[in-house]
Amino acid sequence: GLPARVRIHEVGPRDGLQNEKGTVPTEVKAQFIRRLAVAGLTTIEATSFVHPKWVPQLADAEALFPLVGDIADVGDVSLPVLVPNERGLDRALALGARSIAVFGSATETFAARNLNRTVDESLAMFAPVVARAKAEKASVRGYLSMCFGDPWEGAVPVAQVVRVAKALMDLGCDELSLGDTIGVATPGHVTALLTALNEAGVATPAMGVHFHDTYGQALSNTLAALRHGVSTVDASAGGLGGCPYAESATGNLATEDLVWMLDGLGIETGVDLDELTATSVWLAGHLGRPSPSRTVRALTPS
């Protein structure tokens, strides 16, 4: 059966805005995050503590986090941040971050391009990050990119994904997010990967799914994951997103499209779709182009 409730892991401010060509003012980012919280999102990935030259779009993390940190103190909202290494962890902890995410790759090419490391070197880089974060009682998510296909290596064998997924869990990650970075997955592949991960000892409650919508498969893939028992789904408001180090990546599954489907299925999210849509329309005004989300367009009178 389907889960009664889904926790949406909102990645718009991070995955969405990391990919914008123009600079989004820090105040606009802060307001975006606040509006997402008002719309009922409880997990809002705020920014990344990566090298500012690698992702200039998020180089204002030090200025942004204090503008929104108080949201995490009220109610049940968490503001995870991406942290690739100990330098990033120092920066995040110094600002009071309580929830972090490391981000590995199932393929060597993307590990080299995104982290300047081999897959195993990146795991070694994450090990002290996860250990220290856990010692500080912060929660740790492990992203795994290129779980289905890779723009340079093609289809990615399930066994290769399982090996790195297990390694991330063995480091002590609380949760694993399975990334279809370039949006090539189809539902049968999703079910096969989740089944293989279960067989390797990764339990379904520890897994989330992270679909980019390049081929329009993100919702179908999500439904396959829900049928498997997954109840954590990543999405980005308005369908923003992509990855500067994987050119063929387009936006994430739009949160509005996801909420429309989940509302229809009677699955609880706590998200107010009208409030969320208004937020994406407002942000689209700042970005200077309309949201690619079909649901946002359908709900917005022209």
Q: Residue 21 burial (CB < 10 Å; 0-12/13-18/19+)?
A: exposed
Q: Which of 145, 232, 255, 295 binds ligand HMG (CB under 6 A)?
A: 145
CA distance 247 to 81: 22
49 touching ligand HMG, by CB under 6 A: yes
106 touching ligand HMG, by CB under 6 A: no
143 touching ligand HMG, by CB under 6 A: yes
Residue 257 interface partner, choices Mg ion, ligand HMG, none, CB cut-off 5-8 Å depending on type: none
Of 81-89, 152-160, 166-174, 225-233, which part binds ligand HMG (CB under 6 A)?
81-89
Question: Is the Cβ–Cβ distance between 100 and 86 less than 8 Å?
Answer: no
80 touching ligand HMG, by CB under 6 A: no
**How many helices, marked H, and strands, marked E, lie in the chain?**
11, 11
116 touching ligand HMG, by CB under 6 A: yes
Question: Which residue, among 175, 125, 220, has the nearest Cα to 7 in the 3D structure?
Answer: 175
Question: Is the Cβ–Cβ distance between 45 and 252 less than 8 Å?
Answer: no
221 touching ligand HMG, by CB under 6 A: no
CA distance 198 to 268: 25
- Is 243 among the residues known to form the active site? yes
CA distance 9 to 252: 12
Catalytic option among 100, 243, 249, 259: 243
Question: Is the Cβ–Cβ distance between 210 and 174 less than 8 Å?
Answer: no
Distance of CA 241 to the CA centre of its chain: 10
Of 46-54, 73-81, 163-171, 266-274, which part binds ligand HMG (CB under 6 A)?
46-54
Residue 53 or 289: which CB sits closer to ligand HMG?
53
CA distance 189 to 81: 29
16 touching ligand HMG, by CB under 6 A: no
Residue 230 or 267: which CB sits closer to ligand HMG?
230
Of 67-75, 109-117, 195-203, 271-279, which part binds ligand HMG (CB under 6 A)?
109-117
Residue 130 interface partner, choices Mg ion, ligand HMG, none, CB cut-off 5-8 Å depending on type: none
Question: Is the Cβ–Cβ distance between 96 and 68 less than 8 Å?
Answer: no
295 touching ligand HMG, by CB under 6 A: no
Question: Is the Cβ–Cβ distance between 78 and 139 less than 8 Å?
Answer: yes
15 touching Mg ion, by CB under 5 A: yes
CA distance 203 to 175: 10
CB atoms within 10 A of CB 1: 6
Least distance (Å) from ligand HMG to the CB of residue 40? 22
Residues in region 243-272 near ligand HMG by CB under 6 A: 243, 245
Which residues of the shown chain bind Mg ion in the complex (CB under 5 A)?
Answer: 15
- The residues annotated as belonging to the active site are 243
Which residues of the shown chain bind ligand HMG in the complex (CB under 6 A)?
Answer: 15, 18, 48-51, 54-55, 82, 84-85, 87-88, 91, 103, 114-116, 143, 145, 179, 181, 210, 212, 243, 245
